[in-house]
Structure 1
Amino acid sequence: METTSSDPTLRSVATNGAADGAERTSGARVPSALEMAVTQLRRAASLLGLDAGLVKYLETPKRVLTVSIPVRMDDGRLEVFTGYRVQHSLARGPAKGGIRYHPAVTLDEVTALAMWMTWKCAVLNLPFGGGKGGVVCDPRALSPRELEQLTRRFTAEISVIIGPDRDIPAPDVYTNPQVMAWIMDTYSMQQGHPVPAVVTGKPVEVGGSLGREQATGRGCAICAEEAARRLGLDLRGARVVVQGFGNVGRYAALHLERMGARVVAVSDSRVGLLDERGLSVSELIAYKKAQGSLRGFDAASTLAPEAVLQVPCDVLVPAALEGAITADNAERIRARIVVEGANGPVTPEADEILARRGVTVIPDILANAGGVTVSYFEWVQGLQEFFWPEEQVDRELSRRMRQSFDDVWATARRLETDLRTGAMALAVSRVAEAVRLRGIYP
């Protein structure tokens, strides 16, 4: 998942995906993202005593759009790509969710991610429903012109369902602020006037929010801090391991380091690095920015990328793709706290194993919600055409993340369950209540 191209546009796109560094384990079957999402929903619904009809309603996406994306390649060939936009729920507001460019994108995956976005927005009490998009492509194999053409045509195809009061996309795996700027421009050209609030995660120069790039990783660090405080763990000197060194992983590592923790191991898709004395996160970030990979960083011992998951630590942040921790390797996880930087990195079977072993898992719909929270701030700023200083963004992010952690912790304790089930129960109850109040049309 790395690029060797020297082109700055391709390098930027390829190194800003939230899921950089994904590795799969062998052995036990990894359930699909959609299977995991539905399993989590049904567990929460059973705990809440929801009726079967409502559960079916919540399992089913409101709208699914599949589009073909013809692109004239640089060599004159016509290539046709497939894209998706799924709106899972609009009960609490317009859909919100990222767009990913990846060869392995599937409709099931996008549907699951849209469902998780519904719960994530509900946990943070944001006025959004869940959406997600994806294009089946390898952006590393596309020139900057081809990438722009693909993005603009995809935007034109999904413009029938997106908009600042309907569905607001954002960056995800292998998409970045430049891609969001192309989406905003294409949509604005169709409307005949600038519409900055149609997407979030844009460059600051065209209506983006300060503090957006670091938001997801910073939110992970805040959650780790809150969990550590409740568990009696001092983060100062605590051992931290981060799997995946894309946007989420590197900023989670950076903020945990600033809180006094010692980052002893990290990985990307090519290499794992280990230094018991502690790695310099700022040096790692600079090295990867220059080289496109952590491979070759000689100030640490190397190991296989997937092996970092088994390094003994206090806090483990899996910030790669879904299904990193499964029934096959959960017994070998040696962490007190697992903070899900990625979406769905712990399978339901692994969840049960970790819970039995006393490992506290902070679920993705809470842990990595910092990004969508600052996206909400960006959307509000765009609608109001009034932009906040970074200090205000950081302050509001910290307040909302800590309040939401309190809400989830209290719900889990009240229901005598784990944090994931507590977070899901809180989110599902909020969405179910919105459905009840609005009723079923007609």
Structure 2
Amino acid sequence: MATISLEQEINPWEAQAARFDFAARKLNLDEGLWRVLRYPSREIIVHFPVTMDDGRIEMFTGFRVLHSQARGPGKGGIRYTPEVTLDEVRALASWMTWKCAVVNIPFGGAKGGVICDPKKMSQGELERMTRRYTAEIIEFIGPEKDVPAPDVNTNEQVMAWIMDTYSMHMRQTVTSVVTGKPLNIGGSRGRREATGRGISVVCDEALKHLHIQREGCRVIIQGFGNVGSNAAKLMADKGYKIIGIAEYDGGLVNPNGIDVCALIDYRQRNGSVLGFKGAEAADPVEMLTQECEILIPAATENVITSRNAERIQARIVCEGANGPTTAVADEILADKRVFIIPDILANAGGVTASYFEWVQDRQGYFWKEDNVNEQLATILAESFDDVVRYSEAHDVNNRIAAYMLAIDRVAFTIKQRGIYA
């Protein structure tokens, strides 16, 4: 393995590109298609002013990257963080292309972001920034072009502002321009829990595949936001033992299992998991390397790297976050025979439910939550089987199998459509 710096190792675009290149090589992908699929088709950078509450005019920078529209409109979230970069958004857009193809839904990949700190902004400032960002990219988004969704530090309210801004410009209500909206303006039942539900489904499938009993299966979850908390609750209800929760401000551990519902209530009241009486405080960084059957990194990128991969003791790593494991760490975990459920499969419940919401908006007919959950479970279980079969047929790990399966599907579509030149 070539020696690289940690900075190179954790660069999300380089990580995505390395895995794409490896999978494309395994597929013997045509050189022309390789070039088409390796790079995004459109990258937008916008700089725009927003009037702050004190009358100051602040300049913000936003991004929207469209990786592919070969299989359908672009699809991908919008994140608001001080750390967002073009490389990160570019990588996430590419991952969305592969994620949609792995679960075989008719979208391509896209992603967006604005460099800001929403924790330091008022509701009014966030609304004005969101609307101006939407206006800056408005010609590039739409139900048949590119459909945004919530991501880090964005939510139903942000999606409502985007939908309203787009609708005002179109002079008609267009609910299908975004997903992850409030129910009363075209949102879907089950959407909020969908990513966590998808994680629980693929973990069930992994236990069956590896012949591990679910009852008492020990789980550690990094991140207790929407994804982590819903995964924890759904898995605890099924009999998994949630023994650890790692958050940015501290961790909790209880070998006998944490009462997840009580913890969710506690966090809603206190804004943090710290001080919860049903578990002992623990170092959140060290918790990643504690003994368990399933480790679920469900927070941010690059939490499993060359610096800690050797100490991972989990039998299964189920990637609730995008890009939590670096390519270098992948090789280490493969040597340790850790069964990885890669992000482009593990957290695809969110985009699958977003697809359901888009379909419902376009139909003007909305499904019952049981129907959403049933269809979601079916798609995720079938996709897990597809990836495992591909892995066994091509003698590669699950991540490379997922990439190969996705690239194969997108490349096949491009060949059918032909290259317009």
**Same topology, TM > 0.5:** yes
| CA displacement 1:16-61 (0-9 Å, x = unmatched) | xxxxxxxxxx978642010110011001101000133321211111
For residue 210 of structure 1, report the CA deviation from its aligned partner: 0.2
| CA displacement 1:151-195 (0-9 Å, x = unmatched) | 000111110100001000000000000000000000001011110
| CA displacement 1:132-162 (0-9 Å, x = unmatched) | 0000000000000000000000111110100
Say yes or no: does 1:374 pair with 2:353.
yes
Give the equivalent residue in structure 2 for 1:227. Answer: 206
Give the equivalent residue in structure 2 for 1:184. Answer: 163
Aligned-partner SS, 2:302? coil
Say yes or no: does 1:92 pair with 2:86.
no
Say yes or no: does 1:162 pair with 2:131.
no
Aligned-partner SS, 2:140? coil
Say yes or no: does 1:295 pair with 2:240.
no
Give the equivalent residue in structure 2 for 1:435. Answer: 414
Say yes or no: does 1:120 pair with 2:99.
yes
- 1:197-236 paired onto structure 2 within 5 Å: 197-236=176-215
- 1:240-319 paired onto structure 2 within 5 Å: 240-319=219-298
Contact 1:265 1:311 in 2 (8 A): no
In structure 1, runs of 5+ residues without a counterpart are 1-25
For residue 290 of structure 1, report the CA deviation from its aligned partner: 1.5
- TM-score of the superposition, structure 1-length normalised? 0.93
Aligned-partner SS, 1:282? helix
For residue 287 of structure 1, report the CA deviation from its aligned partner: 1.2
Count the aligned residue pairs: 417
For residue 298 of structure 1, report the CA deviation from its aligned partner: 2.5
Tell which has more relative contact order, 1 or 2 (C-alpha 8 A, sep 6+): 1
Give the equivalent residue in structure 2 for 1:71. Answer: 50
Say yes or no: does 1:53 pair with 2:37.
no
Tell me, in whole angstroms, the C-alpha distance in 2 between the residues paired with 1:393 and 1:50.
36
Contact 1:272 1:307 in 2 (8 A): no
Say yes or no: does 1:332 pair with 2:311.
yes
| Amino acid aligned to 1:284 | L
Aligned-partner SS, 1:386? coil
Contact 1:28 1:326 in 2 (8 A): no
Tell me, in whole angstroms, the C-alpha distance in 1 between the residues paired with 2:7 and 2:212.
32
Q: Residues 89 and 410 (structure 1 numbering): CA distance in 2 closer, same or farther, change over 3 Å? A: same
- TM-score of the superposition, structure 2-length normalised? 0.98
Contact 1:216 1:369 in 2 (8 A): yes
Give the equivalent residue in structure 2 for 1:353. Answer: 332
Contact 1:97 1:130 in 2 (8 A): yes
Tell me, in whole angstroms, the C-alpha distance in 2 between the residues paired with 1:197 and 1:388.
15
Q: Residues 309 and 440 (structure 1 numbering): CA distance in 2 closer, same or farther, change over 3 Å? A: same
Say yes or no: does 1:194 pair with 2:169.
no
Give the equivalent residue in structure 1 for 2:380. Answer: 401
For residue 425 of structure 1, report the CA deviation from its aligned partner: 0.4
| CA displacement 1:40-92 (0-9 Å, x = unmatched) | 10011010001333212111110111111211000110001000000000111
Tell me, in whole angstroms, the C-alpha distance in 2 between the residues paired with 1:308 and 1:205.
40
Q: Give % identity.
A: 53
Tell me, in whole angstroms, the C-alpha distance in 2 between the residues paired with 1:317 and 1:280.
17
Tell me, in whole angstroms, the C-alpha distance in 2 between the residues paired with 1:162 and 1:284.
39
CA-atom RMSD in angstroms? 1.1
Tell me, in whole angstroms, the C-alpha distance in 2 between the residues paired with 1:233 and 1:299.
27
Tell me, in whole angstroms, the C-alpha distance in 1 between the residues paired with 2:364 and 2:169.
20
Tell me, in whole angstroms, the C-alpha distance in 1 between the residues paired with 2:287 and 2:24.
35
- 1:79-158 paired onto structure 2 within 5 Å: 79-158=58-137
Give the equivalent residue in structure 1 for 2:300. Answer: 321
Tell me, in whole angstroms, the C-alpha distance in 1 between the residues paired with 2:285 and 2:7.
15
| Amino acid aligned to 1:162 | I
| Amino acid aligned to 1:301 | E
